[in-house]
């Protein structure tokens, strides 16, 4: 079968190749890939900055944002049936630490976990893949058009879930929340927060009235354009911001966010920033504010099975409240053979997917 792969550590080695059919056993499910989402992690791996091949292979099949349909189930599988729409999780446990043994591989302490399409385990950019039910999630047919967004949705679910768990330290009823970044992760975060009826402002660089702000307004959020200004401008408009979810990819924004957080507030950092950037920050003021205001700043990455299931359920609830809003995030659907257009940055928009089977296989209406 065909797959899109890289030679990890070798820049610009991305290519289509023939790979073996996925293994099957009585415990496995065979899935036909319908589409795979593209994100910055895929671009980093293609540039040779990240990623490792599975033991014994020189190549790594890319792809972690997945959506497919069940083709076949092993004789011992009872949870799934042919025709089910599914999304698989990404990380697999290390097999030795306490957190991994208790279903929280996203908190692995050894670093020996594997991740499909990223770290020591082949991904989903292939015509078919196999998986065990533990790491699979059903997608309701009515939200099939946004099923490929479940992986980034799960990351946001975890971050927001952790914020509320941390804030059990105090009586906390957030009156205003802010999401920094109006890309897929930021808008998904806003959708989750609005689904909880929380007032939410999304901060982006695009001018108001653009495509991103339209989606935010569809779900009842407010859009705040900063253009070339600092996020600190947001703090001048909102005197109380109790929860901030940062999803910009900019390290400067993280420090700006610390300066506008209200007393007893929480800041969740979701960006994985690379490179080497040196710049001055008012660290004494930031440190003093964090201490005197009892603020919390924490990072969150990846997600476990529970957060994938939360995301799948919230997709249904969000679709019922704001039909078609999340589907608008998928702005480009490319044939899998046109992958290079995205990696060469020829494609603009919010979210781009590679189509392996297309709408005919999924029964979807094109977004």
- Per residue in 39-74, pLDDT (tens digit) is 999 999 999 999 999 999 999 999 999 999 999 999
CATH numbers and ranges of domains, the chain: 2-138+327-362 (3.90.180.10), 154-299 (3.40.50.720)
> What pLDDT band is residue 359 in, cutting at 50, 70 and 90?
low
pLDDT for position 361: 45
The 3 state secondary structure assigned to the chain is CEEEEECCCCCCCCEEEECCCCCCCCCCEEEEEEEEECCHHHHHHHCCCCCECCCCCCCEECCCEEEEEEEEECCCCCCCCCCCEEEECCEECCCCCHHHHCCCHHHCCCCCCEEECCEEECCCCECEEEECHHHEEECCHHHHHHHHHHHHHHHHHHHHHHHHHHHHHCCCCCCCEEEECCCHHHHHHHHHHHHCCCCEEEEECCCCCCHHHHHHHHCCCEEEECCCCCCHHHHHHCCCCCEEEECCCCHHHHHHHHCCCCCCCEEEECCCCCCCCCCCCCHHHHHHHHHHCCCEEEECCCCCHHHHHHHHHHHHHHHHHCCCCHHHHEEEEEEHHHHHHHHCCCCCCCEEEEECCCHHHHCCCCC
pLDDT for position 274: 61
pLDDT tens per residue across span 162-188: 999 999 999 999 999 999 999 999 999
């Amino acid at each position: 079968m065909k797959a899109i792969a890289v030679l990890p550590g070798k820049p610009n080695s991305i290519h289509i190749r023939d790979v073996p059919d996925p293994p099957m056993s009585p415990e496995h499910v065979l899935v036909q890939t319908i589409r795979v989402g593209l994100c910055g992690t895929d671009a980093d791996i293609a540039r040779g900055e990240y990623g490792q091949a599975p033991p014994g292979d020189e190549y790594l099949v890319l792809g972690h944002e997945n959506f497919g349909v069940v083709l076949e189930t092993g004789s011992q599988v009872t949870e799934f049936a042919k025709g089910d729409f599914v999304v698989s999780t990404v990380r697999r446990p290390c097999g030795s630490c306490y957190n991994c043994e208790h279903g929280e591989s996203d908190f692995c302490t050894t670093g020996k976990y594997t991740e499909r399409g990223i770290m020591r385990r082949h991904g989903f950019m292939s015509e078919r893949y196999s998986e065990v039910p533990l790491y699979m999630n059903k997608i309701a047919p009515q939200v099939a058009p946004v099923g490929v967004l479940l992986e980034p949705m799960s990351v946001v679910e975890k971050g927001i879930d952790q914020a509320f768990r941390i804030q059990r330290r105090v009586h906390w009823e957030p009156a205003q929340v802010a999401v920094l970044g109006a890309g897929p992760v930021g808008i998904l975060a806003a959708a989750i927060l609005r689904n909880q009826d929380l007032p939410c402002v999304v901060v982006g660089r695009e001018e108001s009235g653009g495509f991103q702000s339209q989606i935010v307004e569809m779900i009842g959020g407010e859009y705040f354009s900063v253009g070339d200004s600092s996020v600190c401008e947001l703090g001048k408009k909102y005197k109380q911001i109790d929860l901030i979810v940062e999803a910009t990819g900019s390290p400067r924004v993280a420090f700006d966010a610390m300066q506008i957080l209200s007393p007893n507030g929480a800041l969740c950092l979701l960006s994985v920033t690379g490179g080497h950037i040196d710049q001055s920050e008012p660290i004494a003021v930031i440190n003093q504010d964090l201490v005197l205001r009892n603020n919390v700043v924490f990072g969150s990455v990846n997600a476990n099975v529970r957060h994938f299931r939360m995301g799948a359920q919230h997709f249904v609830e969000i679709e019922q409240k704001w039909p078609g809003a999340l589907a608008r995030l998928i702005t480009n659907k490319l044939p899998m053979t046109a992958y290079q257009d995205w990696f060469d940055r020829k494609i603009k928009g919010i979210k781009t997917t590679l189509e392996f089977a297309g709408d005919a296989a999924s029964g979807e209406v094109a977004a």
